[in-house]
C-alpha cells in the first residue's frame, strides 16, 4: 500500500482500555485514571509508548537508540537458562537445497546463480509455547527455520508454518509470549493457550485477529512436519548486481501435500506418543523416504506494493497466491539426522539478520526487531560470543575476521596484526564489490513512535481466511475457539473475543457465543478500519483443498489376529508399499500372530500401544475367532471407534464385523468402509485412502 498521506495518531495499546486492570485475585475491575501506575523502565524512567518501536517516519526503519525497546527485549531474551524462551521443543535434520534456475535478474545471492547447484542445509522444526519436555501435538505455531550454508555465508530463513503473526511491532513480543506461557503465579498451563492470560492479551490486540483464525484452524495441529508449509513471514528484498531491489516473500511447499489432524485425535496422540512428530521425521529419513519441500517466491516491485490493498510491511497480512502466484525456485531435501541431538539441534543458532549479499531486509517493524533481538538471545543461551565456532553454526565457506578471545574461543587471528587497517599487509580487508550492501532506500521523516494508518485493518484478511476454508475446516475453527474460550474463567474476556469475531463472521461469532452460553451478544468490537467483505476466497489457504494426490508418505495400521488370511495380508502389504506408504502391524501381542496357514507375522505394536490415532488409515484383518476375542478388549474397540470418529478410511475382513458392531460402527455405515475379500477390494481400499479423510462422516459423528 502507498505511504499514508498524513501521520496517524499513535494507536493506544491497540484498543486496550487503560482503566481496566486486574485485582490480586485476577478479577477485572475499573480504576480511576490517577490510580493507574505509570509504566517505567527498570530504572524508573516513565515510558510514553509501549506499543511501537522508535523509527524514522511511520513506515521507516527502527532506530538502535530506542533504549526502552532495547531494555525490554534484552530482558526478555535472557529469561531462560539455557532453554530457548520460545521454540524450546524442536527437532532438526540435515539436507540440501537445490536451485532450479538462475535468479541473477533479481539477486546477486550466490545460492541463486547456478541451476542444479546443491547447498548444504540444516532445518529445525519446533513448537513455540511449550517447554523442552512438552508434547509434539500442541495446538501451536510451528517454527520452520532453515539454515543454508551458502558460498558467501550462512543464510537463516527463520520462519513458521503460518505466514502471519500475532503482532505488528516487535516491542509487543515479550508481552505476547508472557501471555501465552504459563501464568507466573501458578506455572501452568504450558504448551497451550487455553487460559485467561493469553485470551485477555489477544482480545485487547485487534491486530491479532488474523493470526487467531490461523491458530484456531487445523494449521496449528499438523499431522507431520513433512506435511506442512513454511513461510518466511516477512517481506524481504532481493538485490541484484546493479543494486536494483525486488520485494520477495518466501513460501516452502511440501511435496507430499498438506495434512493435519483433528483436535480429539491430537489429544489422544499426545497421550499415546508425545514424540509423534519427532518419531515420524526420524523414521521417514531412516527409511530413505526423504522429506522434500519446494521453495517458491512471490516477487513484486514498489508499484505493486503501492497498489496492493494492504501494507506489505505488515506481518499480520499476506499476499494471496491468487493475487500474486508463487514461483518455484528450488527444492529442499532432508536426508540425514544429526549425529548428536544436543551438539546440533539444541545448539544451532538461527538469526534473521544472517543473510548473504543479494538478500536484504524491508522496514517491517517486526522483522527489524527480530534482527536486533536474535543475536542477543544466542549470546545468552549459548554463553559466549563465540557460538559461531560451534560446527553446526559455523559457515562452510572460507571466512576471515579479526574477532578474538572470549569464552570458548576455538580459533584466534594468527600473526602480529589483529586489527585493520595495518601497515604489515596482514589480514582480511573489505571488498566493496563482493561484500554485503544494504539497498540504498531513501528514508525521510521525524523520529516517532507511530503505527502507520496502513496497518490499521485488523479484520478483513481474517474474514478472507475464514471464508476460504471448507465447511469442515470452518467447523474446526469454531470448535477450537469454543474449547479455548471455555477454559477462560473471566466472562468479560470471552465476551470481548466474541465481539471481535462479529467483525469476522457473524455465524462463527453466534456459534461460539451459543456454545459458551453467552445470552446477550455484545456489540461488534470497534474497528479502526471497517472490515471489508469484498475480498474473494483464496483456495490456497485451505488444507483440504491442497491435500495430496496420492497416499505416499502415509501410514496404515493393520490389526491382525491369529488365523488371519496371509494371502490377503501380503496383497495388502504390496498395494500399500506400491503407493509409497508404510504398513505397521498391530496385534494382541507384540510378538505377532500365527496366520491361518501357520505363517508367523511379527507385530510392531500391541493393541494397547498402537491406537488408531497413530495411523492415517486402518485395516481389521481378523479371523472370526480373533474378532470374538477382541470384542472383549476396550483398546480394540477404541481402535475402531476412534478411526471412525476421526473420519479415516477403514478396511475390514468379513470376520472383523463383530468388532465393528461392538465399537458402534455399522459395516455399511458409509463409503469410507471397505470389505476386503479380494485383490480388487484391496486395490479399491488403498485408492480411497488417497483422500485421507471422509469429511462427510464428521457431521454424523459429532465428535
Secondary structure (DSSP) of 439-494:
--------EE----GGG---SHHHHHHHHTS-HHHHHHHHHHHHHHHHT---HHHH
- What percent of the chain is predicted at pLDDT more than 90? 82
Average pLDDT, the chain: 93
Residue 659 has pLDDT above 80, yes or no: yes
Helix (H) or strand (E) holding 304: helix 302-307
Contact between residue 458 and residue 448 where contact means Cβ atoms under 8 Å apart: no
Most confident of 22-26, 320-324, 372-376: 320-324
Residues of the chain with CATH 3.40.50.880: 550-701
Residues 6+ apart with CB under 8 A from 252: 144, 146, 159, 229, 230, 231, 293, 294, 295, 296, 332
User: Domain 455-544, what architecture?
Assistant: Up-down Bundle (1.20)
Residues 6+ apart with CB under 8 A from 447: 54, 55, 56, 63
Answer with the residue of higher pLDDT: 409 or 609: 609
Indicate which residues carry an active-site annotation. 87, 160
Taking residues 343-367, what's their average pLDDT? 96
Residues 6+ apart with CB under 8 A from 186: none
Confidence at residue 32, expressed as pLDDT on a 0 to 100 scale = 52
Contact between residue 666 and residue 697 where contact means Cβ atoms under 8 Å apart: no
Confidence at residue 71, expressed as pLDDT on a 0 to 100 scale = 83
Taking residues 201-213, what's their average pLDDT? 98
CA dist., res. 480 & res. 213, Å (int): 10
CA dist., res. 280 & res. 193, Å (int): 25
Q: How would residue 91 be classed by pLDDT, with cut points 50, 70 and 90?
A: very high
CA dist., res. 371 & res. 352, Å (int): 5
Confidence at residue 34, expressed as pLDDT on a 0 to 100 scale = 62
Residues 6+ apart with CB under 8 A from 56: 63, 443, 444, 445, 446, 447
Question: What predicted TM-score, i.e. pTM, was given to this entire model?
Answer: 0.91
Residue 29 has pLDDT above 70, yes or no: no
Q: Domain 550-701 adopts which CATH fold?
A: Rossmann fold (3.40.50)
Max CA separation in the chain (angstroms):
91
Sheet holding 617-621, edge to edge: 605-606, 582-587, 555-560, 617-621, 650-652, 673-675
Nearest to 399 by CA among 435, 372, 423: 435
Burial class (CB in 10 A: 0-12, 13-18, 19+), 633: middle
Residue 133 has pLDDT above 60, yes or no: yes
Residues of the chain with CATH 1.20.1370.20: 455-544
| Length of the chain, in residues | 703
Answer with the residue of higher pLDDT: 210 or 409: 210
Taking residues 195-211, what's their average pLDDT? 98
pLDDT tens digit string along 463-505?
999 999 999 999 999 999 999 999 999 999 999 999 999 999 9
* CA R_g for the chain: 27
Confidence at residue 45, expressed as pLDDT on a 0 to 100 scale = 79
Confidence at residue 11, expressed as pLDDT on a 0 to 100 scale = 40
Q: Domain 55-389 adopts which CATH fold?
A: Catalase HpII,  Chain A, domain 1 (2.40.180)
Q: How would residue 31 be classed by pLDDT, with cut points 50, 70 and 90?
A: very low
CA dist., res. 139 & res. 248, Å (int): 29
Provide the CA 407 distance to its chain's centre, in angstroms.
Answer: 34
Q: How would residue 25 be classed by pLDDT, with cut points 50, 70 and 90?
A: very low
Torsion sign, CA atoms 496, 501, 506, 512: negative
CA dist., res. 559 & res. 572, Å (int): 12
Residue 383 has pLDDT above 80, yes or no: yes
Confidence at residue 590, expressed as pLDDT on a 0 to 100 scale = 92
> Helix crossing, 365-382 with 173-180: angle to 10°?
60
CA dist., res. 68 & res. 65, Å (int): 9
Amino acid at each position: 500500500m502507498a505511504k499514508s498521506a498524513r501521520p496517524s495518531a499513535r494507536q493506544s495499546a491497540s484498543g486496550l482500555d487503560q482503566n481496566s486492570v486486574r485485582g490480586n485475585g485476577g478479577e477485572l475491575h475499573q480504576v480511576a485514571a490517577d490510580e493507574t501506575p505509570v509504566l517505567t523502565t527498570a530504572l524508573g524512567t516513565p515510558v510514553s509508548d509501549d506499543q511501537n518501536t522508535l523509527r524514522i517516519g511511520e513506515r521507516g526503519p527502527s532506530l538502535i537508540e530506542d533504549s526502552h525497546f532495547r531494555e525490554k527485549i534484552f530482558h526478555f531474551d535472557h529469561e531462560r537458562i539455557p532453554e530457548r524462551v520460545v521454540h524450546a521443543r524442536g527437532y532438526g535434520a540435515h539436507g540440501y537445497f537445490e536451485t532450479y534456475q538462475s535468479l541473477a535478474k533479481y539477486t546477486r545471492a550466490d545460492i541463486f546463480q547456478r541451476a542444479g547447484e546443491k547447498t548444504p542445509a540444516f532445518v529445525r522444526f519446533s513448537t513455540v509455547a511449550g517447554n523442552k519436555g512438552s508434547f509434539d501435538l500442541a495446538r501451536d505455531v510451528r517454527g520452520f527455520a532453515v539454515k543454508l550454508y551458502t558460498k558467501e555465508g550462512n543464510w537463516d530463513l527463520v520462519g513458521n508454518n503460518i505466514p502471519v503473526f500475532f503482532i505488528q511491532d516487535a516491542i509487543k513480543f515479550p508481552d505476547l509470549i508472557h501471555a501465552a506461557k504459563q501464568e507466573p503465579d501458578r506455572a501452568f498451563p504450558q504448551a497451550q493457550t487455553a487460559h485467561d492470560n493469553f485470551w485477555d492479551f489477544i482480545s485487547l490486540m485487534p491486530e491479532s485477529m488474523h493470526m487467531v483464525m490461523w491458530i484456531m484452524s487445523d494449521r496449528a495441529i499438523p499431522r507431520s512436519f513433512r506435511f506442512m508449509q513454511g513461510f518466511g513471514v516477512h517481506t524481504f528484498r532481493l538485490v541484484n548486481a546493479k543494486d536494483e531491489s525486488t520485494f520477495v516473500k518466501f513460501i516452502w511447499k511440501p511435496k507430499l501435500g498438506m495434512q493435519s489432524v483433528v483436535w480429539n485425535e491430537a489429544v489422544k496422540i499426545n497421550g499415546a506418543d508425545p514424540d509423534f512428530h519427532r518419531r515420524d521425521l526420524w523414521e521417514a529419513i531412516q527409511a530413505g523416504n526423504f522429506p522434500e519441500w519446494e521453495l517458491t517466491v512471490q516477487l513484486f516491485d514498489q508499484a505493486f506494493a503501492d497498489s496492493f490493498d494492504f501494507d506489505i510491511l505488515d506481518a499480520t497480512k499476506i499476499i494471496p497466491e491468487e493475487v500474486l502466484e508463487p514461483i518455484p525456485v528450488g527444492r529442499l531435501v532432508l536426508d540425514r539426522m544429526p549425529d548428536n541431538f544436543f551438539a546440533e539441534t539444541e545448539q544451532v543458532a538461527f538469526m534473521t539478520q544472517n543473510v548473504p549479499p543479494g538478500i536484504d531486509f524491508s522496514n517491517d517493524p517486526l522483522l527489524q526487531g527480530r534482527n536486533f533481538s536474535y543475536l542477543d538471545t544466542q549470546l545468552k543461551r549459548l554463553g559466549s560470543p563465540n557460538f559461531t565456532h560451534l560446527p553446526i553454526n559455523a559457515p562452510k565457506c572460507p571466512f576471515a575476521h579479526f574477532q578474538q578471545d572470549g569464552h570458548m574461543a576455538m580459533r584466534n587471528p594468527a600473526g602480529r596484526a589483529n586489527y585493520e587497517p595495518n601497515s604489515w599487509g596482514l589480514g582480511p580487508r573489505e571488498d566493496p564489490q563482493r561484500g554485503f550492501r544494504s539497498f540504498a532506500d531513501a528514508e525521510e521523516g521525524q523520529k516517532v513512535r507511530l503505527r502507520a494508518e496502513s496497518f490499521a485493518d485488523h479484520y478483513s484478511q481474517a474474514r478472507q481466511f475464514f471464508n476460504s476454508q471448507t465447511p469442515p475446516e470452518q467447523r474446526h475453527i469454531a470448535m477450537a475457539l469454543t474449547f479455548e474460550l471455555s477454559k477462560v474463567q473471566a466472562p468479560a474476556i470471552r465476551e470481548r473475543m466474541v465481539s471481535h469475531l462479529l467483525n469476522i463472521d457473524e455465524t462463527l461469532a453466534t456459534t461460539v457465543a451459543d456454545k459458551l452460553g453467552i445470552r446477550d451478544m455484545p456489540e461488534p468490537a470497534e474497528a479502526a478500519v471497517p472490515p471489508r467483505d469484498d475480498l474473494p476466497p483464496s483456495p490456497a489457504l485451505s488444507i483440504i483443498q491442497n491435500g495430496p494426490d496420492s497416499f505416499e508418505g502415509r501410514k496404515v495400521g493393520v490389526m491382525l489376529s491369529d488365523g488371519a488370511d496371509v494371502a490377503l495380508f501380503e496383497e495388502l502389504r504390496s498395494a500399500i508399499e506400491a503407493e509409497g506408504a508404510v504398513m505397521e502391524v498391530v496385534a494382541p501381542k507384540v510378538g505377532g500372530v500365527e496366520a491361518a496357514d501357520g505363517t508367523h507375522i511379527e507385530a510392531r505394536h500391541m493393541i494397547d500401544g498402537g491406537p488408531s490415532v497413530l495411523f492415517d488409515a486402518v485395516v481389521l484383518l481378523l479371523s472370526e475367532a480373533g474378532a470374538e476375542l477382541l470384542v472383549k478388549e476396550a483398546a480394540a474397540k477404541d481402535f475402531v471407534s476412534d478411526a471412525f470418529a476421526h473420519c479415516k478410511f477403514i478396511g475390514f475382513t468379513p470376520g472383523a464385523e463383530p468388532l465393528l458392531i461392538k465399537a458402534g460402527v455399522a459395516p455399511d455405515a458409509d463409503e469410507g468402509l471397505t470389505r476386503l475379500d479380494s485383490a480388487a477390494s484391496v486395490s479399491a481400499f488403498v485408492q480411497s485412502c488417497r483422500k485421507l479423510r471422509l469429511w462427510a462422516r464428521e457431521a454424523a459423528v459429532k465428535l
